[in-house]
């Protein structure tokens, strides 16, 4: 955007009150409505022959035809859902998230609509399998990792629990980068996931809204003597809505994920054009569209970039304008009941700028008094915290806000001033407390603490696992907890059992349903009935057969992607997740090196042959994480090329870990590694997907691992490592060299690493890794937990060598996973935060 001031000074227009509403369905032609009554089979035939008009019916065209036909089947229910929610005055929840890691849609949509069988039958006529067509779909990788996938699981559960919930997000042209591995290094490639179009989305231009940036503020007094603020000379961007249907499981509800795309406004072009800068004006279009061009690939860390703030405000403003417009259409300009019918859930602080934006819309645009507006904001905002890592806490420089969002900064100052009065009242004379708790952080570069802003405005603040919430209320947010204890609550994360068991593991699904019926798909607690079958000989044999077949499928994936041969007879030991030091993939690699040294020294007595799989993406700017990937690949190269290791050990690094890869990985895993430094992983959700699919967990007392252990019992869980208080205590006097000296295994590993054995052609590249492990300020304390991990892995080997024992443990894990259904989590949000039915 240029800095040239525009000729007409635009002011935020007051929307016409009580404008005649048009039925939302008006845009649908009668013809389309009639079509959606076709059966899936008829729709597919028509799509192929007439709508797509492809001469050559290849698999891509067939996927498109199928996806479009499935979407058609949803249209009536989608429309009816909207209509009924309005009629019934059902409370609406807006789930605001910068990330929705949806993965593929086809297979999951068919499952939820219970059309999978019909679909398989119709494809027989075309001599193509459903699986082949499913492979054609690009993952919608609009997220980094756990936080984005949680949003996706929540949408599935909300629809399945018949809740009126809309997901609001950004339609990034480029999602999460594609990861290639070249010479062992991560190479990022752009993910143009929309290149071939997206058959699931519907562009809905009637919901367009305008979002303002830059400009300046100005006050004026109206004819009644009331002071108003104007935000003028702004540069405006249009937000265009793209809707994606979210079908519930077998209940006919279809919710909406509304993704915003940034486009240039007409006025924007015109202003430039009038000055004769035609080409400038056209080029400026790109500036506007940049906002939704690319997802920031940082997981658990903020990067402070201006474009990221623009994305956050763009999403927040567009979504809130959309909500208020709908409200006014239905209820006119009286907002007093707004919080009774609306909740806004902030998925981390990424959309926390929605707090001052909702104030701005209510005060400046809809002309409410400050107190009335604040009453509304503070009774509908709810905030979910996802991390304690200091590098992830968002703080936007005041300077940046003053330039980009001047009116928003004014409002933040006003919120802060009023709130600090409350703090001063609670702690009279305590200036340090005021400074500590202020939304504005003072210093050389004053900044807005987005988490504080979110807490101050929200009626609910939740953590995502019991330990995480406890650490929040006693640590990071202690003062706030003291001030407003009732705001704080825990909602342990979950994952949807539709995608993460019923869809991704059809063999286990069939086995479970053959004994329990299929009620567990929506009431996962029913899986506890499997405990009674955990020693049933037939059932155990079938359970093992299923795992064996799933391991074959995973081995095939590893073969294709890594060119490493995994033998399904061996133990499959898996760690897939974003690469981060706190998740300690490095600790896993050290253990693999140790096993390799045992093999080289002939110490294979009691050793369990195993295949170790590591996968995950590193943030492109995170040098240490990228070096860990390189180490994993180099170690893999040495081990897999060594014939002495072949009967005992394989290591593979799986490139481009994403949702669709996980759908093959978790069903085929024996052992799930959840080995983060205690106190660092807020919850984890990968851990739950593995547990549901009958993997056993090797884990620390961190995040939701603790609750998983509680559910399944110590006998069915491989626990190791320091707990969170012990980690904190040790930090003061941590001497890693003592742990290394005391462990023959670890000193051996460190010597081999330092010898350059894994980097013969690349001297010293792993020096930073060695230094990190040996540093007394290593926050992740690898050396301290190594021995404990090694011993736990010996227990794993012993247990695996008793197939009956392992199978029983595996069944107990699936049986105990009911609490980690996101249906449970969402029922908690519904009853304790949203208060909706």
Ligand X SMILES: *Cc1c(COP(=O)(O)O)cnc(C)c1O
| Residue with smaller CB distance to ligand X, 148 or 245 | 148
Shortest Å distance, C-beta 705 to ligand X: 10
Token couple for 599:
């093999």
What is the CA angle 259-264-267, rounded to 5? 130
| Residue with smaller CB distance to ligand X, 351 or 684 | 684
**How far apart, in whole angstroms, are the C-alpha atoms of residue 685 and residue 674?**
10
**How far apart, in whole angstroms, are the C-alpha atoms of residue 235 and residue 214?**
6
| Residue with smaller CB distance to ligand X, 578 or 819 | 578
Q: Per rule CB under 6 A, is residue 584 in the interface with ligand X?
A: no
Q: Per rule CB under 6 A, is residue 494 in the interface with ligand X?
A: no
Tell me the per-residue interface mask from 526 to 565 with ligand X, x by CB under 6 A, - otherwise.
----------------------------------------
| Residue with smaller CB distance to ligand X, 264 or 662 | 662
| Residue with smaller CB distance to ligand X, 149 or 395 | 149
CB of 456 closer than 8 Å to CB of 419: yes
**Of residues 310, 407, 547, 583, which has the active-site annotation?**
583
> Which of 659, 792, 799, 836 touches ligand X by CB under 6 A?
659
Q: Per rule CB under 6 A, is residue 319 in the interface with ligand X?
A: no
Q: Segment near ligand X (CB under 6 A), from 228-236, 561-569, 640-648, 658-666?
A: 658-666
Measured in whole angstroms, the distance separating CA 758 from the mean position of its chain's CA atoms is: 34
**Of residues 71, 487, 578, 819, which has the active-site annotation?**
578
Let me know if 468 is a catalytic residue: no
Extract the runs of DSSP E, i.e. beta strands, from 116-234.
140-142, 165-170, 178-182, 185-189, 202-213, 216-221, 227-232
**Of residues 265, 349, 522, 685, which has the active-site annotation?**
685
Count of residues near ligand X by CB under 6 A: 12
Shortest Å distance, C-beta 777 to ligand X: 25
Let me know if 551 is a catalytic residue: no
Count CA atoms within 13 Å of residue 668 on its CB side: 24
Q: Which residues pair with 227 in a beta bridge?
A: 221
Q: Per rule CB under 6 A, is residue 662 in the interface with ligand X?
A: yes
Shortest Å distance, C-beta 655 to ligand X: 13
Q: Per rule CB under 6 A, is residue 686 in the interface with ligand X?
A: yes
Shortest Å distance, C-beta 708 to ligand X: 12
| Residue with smaller CB distance to ligand X, 148 or 339 | 148
Q: What is the DSSP letter of 501?
A: I
Shortest Å distance, C-beta 667 to ligand X: 13
Residue nearest to ligand X (CB): 686
> Which of 36, 235, 685, 814 touches ligand X by CB under 6 A?
685
Q: Which residues of 634-671 are buried (b: 16+ CB within 10 A; e: fewer)?
A: bbbebbbeeeebeebbbbbbbbbbbbbbbbbbbbbbbb
**How far apart, in whole angstroms, are the C-alpha atoms of residue 614 and residue 821?**
25
**How far apart, in whole angstroms, are the C-alpha atoms of residue 711 and residue 384?**
24
Q: Per rule CB under 6 A, is residue 149 in the interface with ligand X?
A: yes
Handedness of CA 307, 308, 312, 318 (dihedral sign): positive
Q: What is the DSSP letter of 249?
A: S
Q: Per rule CB under 6 A, is residue 92 in the interface with ligand X?
A: no
Let me know if 689 is a catalytic residue: yes
Q: Per rule CB under 6 A, is residue 615 in the interface with ligand X?
A: no
**How far apart, in whole angstroms, are the C-alpha atoms of residue 66 and residue 126?**
12
Q: Cα dist. 573→55, 508, 610, 666, 796 in Å?
A: 47, 19, 7, 11, 10
**Of residues 491, 689, 812, 819, which has the active-site annotation?**
689
> Which of 349, 550, 585, 658 touches ligand X by CB under 6 A?
658
Q: Segment near ligand X (CB under 6 A), from 190-198, 513-521, 656-664, 755-763?
A: 656-664
Let me know if 386 is a catalytic residue: yes
| Residue with smaller CB distance to ligand X, 248 or 699 | 699
**How far apart, in whole angstroms, are the C-alpha atoms of residue 160 and residue 140?**
21
Task: Considering only residues 689 through 708, tell me which ones interact with ligand X, judged by CB under 6 A.
Answer: 689
**How far apart, in whole angstroms, are the C-alpha atoms of residue 311 and residue 520?**
39
Shortest Å distance, C-beta 675 to ligand X: 10
| Residue with smaller CB distance to ligand X, 211 or 671 | 671
**Of residues 91, 386, 499, 591, which has the active-site annotation?**
386
Shortest Å distance, C-beta 144 to ligand X: 8
**How far apart, in whole angstroms, are the C-alpha atoms of residue 416 and residue 76?**
47
Let me know if 583 is a catalytic residue: yes
> Which of 93, 133, 145, 746 touches ligand X by CB under 6 A?
145
Q: Are strands 342-347 and 92-96 parallel, antiparallel or unpaired?
A: parallel
Q: Cα dist. 723→4, 580, 729, 792 in Å?
A: 58, 19, 10, 15
DSSP secondary structure string, 282-324?
HHHHHHHHHTTTB----SS-----HHHHHHHHHHHHHHHHHHH
| Residue with smaller CB distance to ligand X, 674 or 807 | 674
CB of 480 closer than 8 Å to CB of 437: yes
Extract the runs of DSSP E, i.e. beta strands, from 335-459.
342-347, 381-384, 395-397, 440-441, 447-449
What does residue 552 show for φ and ψ, rounded to 5 degrees?
-60, -40
Shortest Å distance, C-beta 583 to ligand X: 7
**Of residues 577, 626, 630, 680, which has the active-site annotation?**
577
CB of 112 closer than 8 Å to CB of 248: yes
Shortest Å distance, C-beta 619 to ligand X: 13
Q: Segment near ligand X (CB under 6 A), from 63-71, 235-243, 315-323, 678-686?
A: 678-686
| Residue with smaller CB distance to ligand X, 6 or 104 | 104
Q: Per rule CB under 6 A, is residue 146 in the interface with ligand X?
A: yes
Token couple for 706:
């603790």
Let me know if 203 is a catalytic residue: no
Q: Cα dist. 261→173, 174, 240, 264, 540 in Å?
A: 9, 12, 5, 10, 51
Query: Which contiguous run of DSSP H or E holds residue 260?
Result: strand 254-264
> Which of 169, 684, 694, 818 touches ligand X by CB under 6 A?
684
Shortest Å distance, C-beta 629 to ligand X: 15
Q: Segment near ligand X (CB under 6 A), from 145-153, 227-235, 253-261, 357-365?
A: 145-153
Q: Segment near ligand X (CB under 6 A), from 120-128, 143-151, 203-211, 591-599?
A: 143-151
| Residue with smaller CB distance to ligand X, 342 or 669 | 669
| Residue with smaller CB distance to ligand X, 610 or 689 | 689
Q: Segment near ligand X (CB under 6 A), from 35-43, 144-152, 397-405, 584-592?
A: 144-152
> Which residues are known catalytic residues?
386, 577-578, 583, 685, 689
Residues forming the site for ligand X (CB under 6 A): 145-146, 149, 577-578, 658-659, 662, 684-686, 689
């Amino acid at each position: 955007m240029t800095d040239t001031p525009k000729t007409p000074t635009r002011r935020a227009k007051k929307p016409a009150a009580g404008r005649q509403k048009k039925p939302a369905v008006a845009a649908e032609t009668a013809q389309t409505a009639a079509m959606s009554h076709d059966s899936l089979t008829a729709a597919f035939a028509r799509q192929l022959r007439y709508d797509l008009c492809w001469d050559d019916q290849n698999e891509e065209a067939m996927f498109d035809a199928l996806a479009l036909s499935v979407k058609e089947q949803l249209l009536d229910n989608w429309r009816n859902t909207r209509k009924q929610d309005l009629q019934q005055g059902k409370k609406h929840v807006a789930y605001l998230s910068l990330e929705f890691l949806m993965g593929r849609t086809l297979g999951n949509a068919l499952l939820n609509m219970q059309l999978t069988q019909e679909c398989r039958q119709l494809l027989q006529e075309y001599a193509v399998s459903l699986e082949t067509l499913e492979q054609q779909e690009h993952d919608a990788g609009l997220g980094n990792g756990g936080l984005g996938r949680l949003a996706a699981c929540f949408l599935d559960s909300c629809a399945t629990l018949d809740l009126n919930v809309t997901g609001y997000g950004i339609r990034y042209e480029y999602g999460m980068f594609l990861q290639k591995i070249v010479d062992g290094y991560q190479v990022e490639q752009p993910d143009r996931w929309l290149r071939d179009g997206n058959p699931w989305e519907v562009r809905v231009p009637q919901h367009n809204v305008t979002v303002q940036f830059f400009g300046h503020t100005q006050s004026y007094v109206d004819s009644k003597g009331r002071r108003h603020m104007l935000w003028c000379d702004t540069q405006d961007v249009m937000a265009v809505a793209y809707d994606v249907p979210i079908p519930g499981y077998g209940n006919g509800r279809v919710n909406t994920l509304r993704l915003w795309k940034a486009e240039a406004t007409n006025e924007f072009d015109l202003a430039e054009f009038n000055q004769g800068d035609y080409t400038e004006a056209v080029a400026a279009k790109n500036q506007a569209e940049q906002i939704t061009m690319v997802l920031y690939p940082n997981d658990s860390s903020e990067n402070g970039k201006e474009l990221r703030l623009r994305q956050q405000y763009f999403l927040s403003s567009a979504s809130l304008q959309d909500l208020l417009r709908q409200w006014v259409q239905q209820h006119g300009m009286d907002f007093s009941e707004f919080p009774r019918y609306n909740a806004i859930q902030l998925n981390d602080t990424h959309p926390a700028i929605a707090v001052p934006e909702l104030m701005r819309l209510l005060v400046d645009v809809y002309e409410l008094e400050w107190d009335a507006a604040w009453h509304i904001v503070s009774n509908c905002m709810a905030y979910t915290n996802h991390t304690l890592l200091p590098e992830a806490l968002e703080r936007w420089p005041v300077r940046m806000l003053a330039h980009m969002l001047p009116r928003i900064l004014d409002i933040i100052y006003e919120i802060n001033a009023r709130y600090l009065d409350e703090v001063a009242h609670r702690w009279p004379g305590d200036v340090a407390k005021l400074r500590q708790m202020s939304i504005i952080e003072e210093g050389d570069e004053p900044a807005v603490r987005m988490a504080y802003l979110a807490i101050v405005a929200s009626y609910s603040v939740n953590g995502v696992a019991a330990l995480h919430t406890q650490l929040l209320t006693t640590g990071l947010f202690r003062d706030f907890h003291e001030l407003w204890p009732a705001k704080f609550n825990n909602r342990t994360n979950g994952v949807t059992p539709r995608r993460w068991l019923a869809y991704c593991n059809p063999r286990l699904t069939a086995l479970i349903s053959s004994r329990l019926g299929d009620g567990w798909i929506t009431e996962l607690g029913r899986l506890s009935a499997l405990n009674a079958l955990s020693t049933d000989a037939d059932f155990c044999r079938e359970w093992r057969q299923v795992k064996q077949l799933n391991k074959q499928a995973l081995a095939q994936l590893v073969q294709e992607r890594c060119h490493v041969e995994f033998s399904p007879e061996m133990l499959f030991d898996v760690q897939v997740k974003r690469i981060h030091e706190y998740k300690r993939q490095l600790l896993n690699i050290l253990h693999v090196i140790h096993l390799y040294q045992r093999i080289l020294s002939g110490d294979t007595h009691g050793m369990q042959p195993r295949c170790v799989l590591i996968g995950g993406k590193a943030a492109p700017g995170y040098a240490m994480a990228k070096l860990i990937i390189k180490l994993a690949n180099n170690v893999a190269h040495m081990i897999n090329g060594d014939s002495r290791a072949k009967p005992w050990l394989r290591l593979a690094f799986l490139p481009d870990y994403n949702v669709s890869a996980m759908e093959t990985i978790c069903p085929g895993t024996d052992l799930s590694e959840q080995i983060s430094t205690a106190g660092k992983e807020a919850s984890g959700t990968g851990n739950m997907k593995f547990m549901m699919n009958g993997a056993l967990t090797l884990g620390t007392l961190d995040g939701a691992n603790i609750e998983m252990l509680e559910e399944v019992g110590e006998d069915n869980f491989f626990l190791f490592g320091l707990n969170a208080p012990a980690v904190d205590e040790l930090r003061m006097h941590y001497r890693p060299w003592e742990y290394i000296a005391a462990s023959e295994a670890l000193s051996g590993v460190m010597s081999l690493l330092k010898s350059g054995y894994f980097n013969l052609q690349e001297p010293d590249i792993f020096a930073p890794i060695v230094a990190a492990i040996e540093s007394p300020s290593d926050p992740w304390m690898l050396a301290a937990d190594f021995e404990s991990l090694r011993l736990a892995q010996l227990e794993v080997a012993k247990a695996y060598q008793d197939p009956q024992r392992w199978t029983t443990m595996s069944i107990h894990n699936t049986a105990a996973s009911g609490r980690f259904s996101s249906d449970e989590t969402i029922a908690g949000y519904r009853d304790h935060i949203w208060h909706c039915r």
